[in-house]
Amino acid sequence: MVKEPEIENELRPLLERFRRERQAGERFGDWAARTLWEAATLNA
């Protein structure tokens, strides 16, 4: 479990990746479905 003071440090790498990889106008959920969930499905 992540404690409140650690949340920012835990999420920072994911949010930085989103900032680099997202398509114009793409929202976080759409990006996650396209990159994270699709990759998990392909590797299952």
pLDDT in 10s for each residue of the chain, 44 residues: 889 999 999 999 999 999 999 999 999 999 999 998 877 777 76
pLDDT at 44: 67
pLDDT at 4: 93
pLDDT at 38: 75
Residue 9 is inside which H or E element, if any? helix 7-21
pLDDT at 41: 78
Task: Please give the Cα distance from 5 to 18 (Å, whole number).
Answer: 22
